[in-house]
Structure 1
Amino acid sequence: MEFLETLLATDHISDPAKAALCGLLVGLIFGACAQASRFCLRSASIEFWGGKPGPSFAIWLLVFGSALLFVQMLLSSGMLPVNEVRQLSSAGTLSGAIIGGAMFGVGMILARGCASRLLVLSATGNLRALMTGMLVTVIAQAALTGLLSPLRLELSALWSVGPDARNLNLHLPAYAGLIVGGVLLALAVFLARRAALGTARTLISIVLGGSIALGWLLTASLAHVSFEPVSVLSVTFTGPSADTLMALITEPAIPLEFGVGLVPGVALGSFASAVLRKEFHVQVFDQSTGMVRYVVGAVLMGFGGMLAGGCAVGAGVTGGSVLSLTAWLALLAMWLGSGACQWLMERQSPAFGNGRVTS
């Protein structure tokens, strides 16, 4: 920790530039590992609710379990101060987590991928994911500061809680997070072996979970040595993607911060992985894929992500790793929403229920 703080205390570049570089580094790791492992909550959800947890579910659990374990290690050691984590030190909304999470879960089924998955796929040549992801970003911005913001604020205000109620670390036995993270990771390794996932993809998935902890560690370390306010955060996509897009449109110079480095970092990491693995190829909308479902899914994910306080990674994994009550509720709502949507689609058209989890 001291070495990292000393490294980040250099005066050669500005503190905002350091934050952006930290985001770029984390993004490169996340993007490369997400592409190589095929990490996807939608695919995991389809397997789980289909009663056949397989490789996709094992990968998701590997990422979540390792992120929870590593981040809880940071919290218990004091390397990540609890009072500096926004999800634990500020008020939250339970209604937003439940409603927004359910909307996001439905949206990711319709759009064939969550916000992070769309970004990763975009960098591999999937133009369907690129267009859908851009729409998610526009709707998210409208929900944050635009036409949809009054509705978001109204729904958020239905059931709000203070920081103490939101922080599960205050209500659980000591080291509960470490124990749960260790148990989930062990279970994930067992499921990965049963699904014949392979050592390489198993380790890549664990490194992917570790990138969440790395984001927390880097921003916490920078906040300790910075002369300017630095937000202590980690990987999330709905907000940073919206901020980056709006900065490109409205600002002559993009304000540097962690999220501004994270988004292009994920794209570059995913692109490099796809090229090296010879998996880059252009995909477009056609008669078999349709387009309406993607549009509806993007709208639900954009608004739902902002209402829930983050996407499947931002709220679900990153927020869940610090034991934020709203994040765990949002993640549960995403799983339930995706399961309900998949069930309805299977009843409407058997083609949706053939177990395919490709994007």
Structure 2
Amino acid sequence: MSIEQVSLLTTLALVAAFVLSAVFGAVARATRFCTMGAISDVVALGDWTRVKQWAAAGGIALIGFSALVFTGLVDADRTLYASHQILWLAALVGGLLFGVGMVLSSGCGNKTLVRLGGGNLKALVVLVLMGVSAFATLKGITAVLRVATVDAVHVDLAMNASLPEVLAASFQLNAASLRLALGLAFGGALLVWAAWGRETRDVRSLVGGVLIGALVVAAWWLSGHWAVVEEHPLTLEHVFLATNSGRAEALSFVTPVAYALDWLMFYSDANKRLTLGIVSVAGVVVGAALHALWSREFRWEGFAGTSDLAHHATGAVLMGIGGVTAMGCTIGQGLSALSTLSIASLPAIAGIVIGAVVSLKYQAWQLERAL
């Protein structure tokens, strides 16, 4: 493959990622896909409709990624979440911080992008603060604290720290076949549960979950198979084109926001390149905006007062720090990492849910006191 062909493939991959994420933004807005909203519905109303929507997305993502690995289209050992270490404390603490932050900010990273597309200027402030705190946790002052504390506590394994690889090594089984079996079992169970009960009357919600899961699978295929060069003409190395990590990546909306801000601020630096994550951030906003305009629901919205600003600003910082520490948000860990059956995704998801529930209950308690 020539340099010109690599350049063309990179451009096509970026365009595909933008289109894919724009569809994600439109679907998320049209079907009210929101992890924080789903948890809030359960805590406040006992309504599991949007949790089952998330379960449908998780089921499709699990089955789809497992099928990609089984057919050899994606290498599970070369994804962003592949590691021989289980950073369980970082995942748990980061998840807790993120869960608290998304409640204070009225939504997680992807929901904030969707809200921005609908004209919500509060979301713009949240994104900027989240991106700055995320970048500081990647390479700045909070990164030093992260590495010296929670990242220092981990479990080392001789294989990739994902459930299929651990079980395959323990029982001398084929990892790809076992992954497919586990993906079908767990993913199928999530889909059956999502389709069971009175919540399934909301067909739009269920279809939205299925589409979101399918888009996560499409992102894995795009970055892990289509936008891959086996031997780069300059380095002769195996290259995943236009990724920040140099590995296969799927959808996530904390670290990519940080890299998007970095790209904007240092645009004239030739070393700053567009990546799949950066264009995905823009794509979600554009997709949500197109849906808002088409449905005539676009409207400008600002902060109600200083208290509202303080809550959203605090939440944004917590999401930035927590999202990087946990290596993902409700989409990055909740769907993309979960689809790989990464062991670290379990404490991360648990932390997000616990942090959100505690924050929601605290807000309800404060409201009752004020009445």
| TM-score, reference length from structure 2 | 0.85
* Structure 1 position 71, deviation (Å): 1.6
Query: In structure 2, how many angstroms separate the alpha carbons of the residues matched to 1:212 and 1:296?
Result: 29
Q: Is the 8 A contact 1:345 1:352 kept in 2?
A: no
Instruction: Please point out which of 315, 338, 343 is paired with 1:320.
Output: 338
Select which of 229, 234, 237 maps to 2:250: 234
Give the match for residue 120 of structure 2: 126
Number of the residue aligned with 1:246: 262
Within 2, Cα distance between the matches of 1:67 and 1:320?
A: 8
Preserved contact between residue 19 and residue 256 of structure 1 (Cα < 8 Å): no
1:356 equivalent in structure 2: none
Q: Deviations over 1:268-308 (max 9, x none)?
A: 11111111222211111014972111111111111000100
Against the structure 1 CA distance between its residues 133 and 352, is the aligned structure 2 distance closer, same or farther, given a 3 Å change threshold? farther
Partner of 2:331, secondary structure, is: helix
* Aligned residue number for residue 357 of structure 1: none
What value does the CA root-mean-square deviation take over the aligned residues? Answer: 2.5
Query: Gaps (5+ residues) in structure 2?
Result: 169-177, 233-238, 241-246
Deviations for 1:194-231, whole angstroms, at most 9, x for unmatched residues?
A: 36312x34223211110000000111213543544212
Aligned to 2:294: 276
Question: What displacement does 1:344 show?
Answer: 1.9
Query: Would the aligned equivalents of 1:97 and 1:329 in 2 still touch at CA under 8 Å?
Result: yes
Query: In structure 2, how many angstroms separate the alpha carbons of the residues matched to 1:242 and 1:302?
Result: 8
Q: Tell me if the contact between 1:33 and 1:208 (Cα under 8 Å) persists in the aligned partners.
A: yes
Match of 2:186 in 1: 180
Q: Which residue of 1 aligns with 2:101?
A: 107
Query: How far apart, in 1, do the equivalents of 2:163 and 2:89 lie?
Result: 17
Question: Retained in 1: the 8 A contact 2:91–2:345?
Answer: yes
Q: Do the aligned partners of 1:15 and 1:227 also contact (CA within 8 Å) in 2? A: no
2:201 aligned with 1:196, yes or no? yes
Q: Is the 8 A contact 2:84 2:160 kept in 1?
A: no
Map residues 1-359 of structure 1 onto 2, 5 A cutoff: 11=5, 13-50=7-44, 52-162=46-156, 164=159, 166-172=161-167, 174=178, 175-191=181-197, 193-194=198-199, 196-198=201-203, 200-225=204-229, 227-228=231-232, 229-230=239-240, 231-252=247-268, 254-287=272-305, 290-350=308-368
Tell me the distance in 2 between the aligned counterparts of 1:247 and 1:64: 31
User: Alpha carbons of 1:10 and 1:187: their partners in 2 closer, same or farther (altered >3 Å)?
Assistant: farther
> Does the residue aligned with 1:286 lie in a helix, a strand or coil?
coil
Decide whether the 8 Å contact of 1:27 with 1:262 is kept in 2: yes
Identical aligned residues as a percent: 27
Q: Distance in 1 between matches of 2:266 and 2:86?
A: 30
Deviation at 1:251? 2.7
C-alpha displacement at 1:78, in angstroms?
2.4
Shift of 1:161: 3.1
The 1:289/1:26 distance shift into structure 2, 3 A limit, reads: farther
AA at the equivalent of 1:112: S
Query: CA–CA distance in 2 between the matches of 1:338 and 1:152?
Result: 22
Name the SS of the counterpart of 2:308 in structure 1: coil
- Give 1:237 deviation, angstroms: 1.2
Note the C-alpha offset of 1:40.
Answer: 0.7
Contact 1:91 1:161 in 2 (8 A): yes
Contact 1:67–1:210, Cα closer than 8 Å, also in 2: yes
2:143 and 2:192 map into 1 onto residues whose CA distance is 41
Deviates more, 1:203-212 or 1:100-109: 203-212
User: Which stretch has the larger CA shift, 169-178 or 65-74?
Assistant: 169-178
Counterparts in 2 of 1:348 and 1:245: CA distance versus 1, 3 Å: same
> Partners in 1 of 2:24 and 2:166 — Cα distance?
31
- TM-score, normalised relative to structure 1: 0.88
Contact persistence 2:85–2:154 (CA under 8 A): yes
C-alpha displacement at 1:90, in angstroms? 5.0
Question: Which secondary structure state, in structure 2, belongs to the residue aligned with residue 14 of structure 1?
Answer: helix
Inter-partner Cα distance in structure 2 for 1:272 and 1:23:
17
Q: Is contact 2:13-2:227 (8 Å) kept?
A: no
Structure-2 change in CA distance of 1:220 and 1:127 (3 Å): same
Q: How many aligned positions are there?
A: 344
Q: CA distance change for structure 1 residues 147 and 34 in 2, over 3 Å: closer, same or farther?
A: same
1:180 Cα deviation from its structure 2 partner: 0.7
Contact 1:23 1:260 in 2 (8 A): no
User: Does the 8 Å CA contact 1:82/1:89 hold for their aligned counterparts?
Assistant: no
- The CA deviation string for residues 297-350 of structure 1, in whole angstroms up to 9 with x for no partner, is 111111000100011111121101110111222011100111111122222223
Q: How has the CA–CA distance of structure 1 residues 347 and 93 changed in structure 2, closer, same or farther, with 3 Å as cutoff?
A: same
Closer/same/farther in 2, CA of residues 27 and 122 from structure 1, 3 Å limit: same
Contact 1:39 1:59 in 2 (8 A): yes
SS across alignment from 2:149: helix
